[in-house]
């Protein structure tokens, strides 16, 4: 069902341009369809702010639930921003205090860049935890991406993430560990998912505090888990929201950093992401970069179009299906009056019971 363009956020027009249905506010208000109001706490750095915004809003808009989806992006003032990002947030994002007053049905929290050895030393830590504490009693579910997952398990369970020997970077095969969970309904038992992180919370750490691991990988670790109550907090370490070229953009940024001597060695290729032809193109480009560095010449143009043509998206449909299942449970949990009227005896606070009803 369609998203509703309830303000002038440019992402809505970008999604329209790519063929997604987005209703104008005027048209939406003339339809008798239930609304869901989703908060979207975007903590990503400036370079990824708009892309992450588009990725998650698109996932929400792909839900097949009969509802109109209002997505409210907001951020944390303590995060340091450049002028362009500050202007974008000031014009298009919402104040959290206003969202508290109007209410939300669910909350999505993105990752963020960190600069301190411990997450609770970051400037965003206390504002983030304040938002989470409010959400615990005011939304049906919180969905966390990557760094947000690590922050919440640190806050809830004092779990410290483990720094990995090298960046977990690429597209990995995963297996559904709990196929009967309602979030896994109609999900392929094996599927790919991207990861991009330097830190990890292990299966043993999740299960040690009563959380349930829903999807994991022998190579990449836990992709998705849920809180002990099975739904109130959904944890992702991977990135179901990524576009086909998201890892390519990250790889390009690392190559540019190598050119600028901001890193000592050329970046590793993302694992199982590039085709054999793409790997050859990327390695040849690095050779040209190294020669240019040695000779003091102009750096070659990054072969972005050639690499993009060799990339396959093997995770997008599964990501959409999982978010669809999540929003479906949010839809049921927030429709308490209808639940009690048509499903007597079902506990509206039990998402598993609601899913089975």
Q: What positions carry a catalytic annotation?
A: 146, 239, 241
What crossing angle do the helices spanning 246-259 and 276-295 adopt, rounded to 10°?
Answer: 20
41 SS3 class: strand
Which residue in 159, 157, 152 sits closest to 201, CA to CA? 159
- Burial of 114-150, coded b for 16+ CB within 10 Å and e otherwise, reads beeeebeebebbebbbebbeebeeebbbbbbbbbbbb
First to last CA, the chain: 22
CA pair distance 37, 99, nearest whole angstrom: 10
Edge-to-edge strand ranges of the sheet holding 190-200: 22-24, 3-5, 68-74, 35-41, 106-109, 141-145, 233-236, 221-226, 212-217, 162-176, 190-200
Which residue in 181, 108, 207, 171 sits closest to 312, CA to CA? 171
222 SS3 class: strand
| Parallel/antiparallel/unpaired status of strands 162-176 and 212-217 | antiparallel
C-alpha distance from residue 335 to each of 173, 198, 350 (Å): 36, 39, 13
CA pair distance 145, 112, nearest whole angstrom: 9
CA–chain centroid gap for 182, Å, is 20
227 SS3 class: coil
């Amino acid at each position: 069902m369609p998203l509703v363009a309830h303000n002038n956020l440019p992402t809505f027009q970008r999604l329209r341009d790519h063929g997604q249905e987005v209703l104008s506010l005027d048209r939406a208000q003339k339809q008798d369809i239930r609304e869901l109001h989703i908060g979207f706490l975007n903590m990503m750095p400036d370079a990824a702010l708009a892309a992450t915004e588009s990725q998650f809003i698109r996932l929400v808009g792909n839900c097949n639930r009969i509802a109109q989806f209002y997505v409210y992006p907001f951020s944390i003032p303590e995060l340091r921003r450049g002028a362009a990002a500050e202007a974008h947030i000031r014009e298009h994002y919402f104040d959290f205090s206003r969202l508290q007053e109007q209410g939300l049905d669910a909350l999505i929290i993105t990752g963020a860049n960190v600069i301190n050895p411990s997450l609770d030393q970051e400037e965003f830590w206390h504002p983030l935890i304040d938002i989470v504490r409010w959400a615990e009693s005011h939304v049906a579910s919180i969905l966390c991406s990557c760094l947000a997952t690590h922050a919440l398990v640190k806050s809830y369970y004092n779990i410290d993430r483990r720094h990995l020997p090298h960046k977990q970077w690429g597209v990995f095969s995963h297996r559904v560990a709990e196929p009967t969970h309602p979030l896994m309904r109609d999900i392929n038992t094996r599927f790919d998912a991207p990861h991009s992180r330097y830190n990890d919370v292990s299966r043993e750490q999740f299960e040690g505090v009563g959380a349930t691991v829903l999807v994991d990988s022998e190579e990449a670790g836990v992709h998705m888990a849920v809180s002990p109550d099975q739904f109130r907090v959904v944890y992702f370490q991977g990135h179901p929201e990524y576009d086909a070229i998201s890892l390519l953009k990250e790889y390009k940024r690392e190559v540019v950093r190598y050119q600028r001597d901001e890193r000592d060695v050329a970046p590793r290729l993302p694992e199982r992401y590039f085709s054999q032809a793409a790997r050859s193109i990327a390695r040849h480009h690095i050779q040209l970069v190294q020669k240019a560095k040695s000779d003091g010449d102009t750096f070659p143009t990054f072969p972005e179009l050639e690499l993009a043509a060799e990339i396959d998206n093997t995770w997008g449909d599964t990501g959409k299906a999982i978010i669809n299942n999540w929003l479906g449970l949010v839809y049921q949990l927030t429709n308490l009056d209808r639940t009690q009227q048509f499903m007597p005896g079902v506990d509206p606070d039990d998402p598993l019971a609601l899913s089975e009803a």
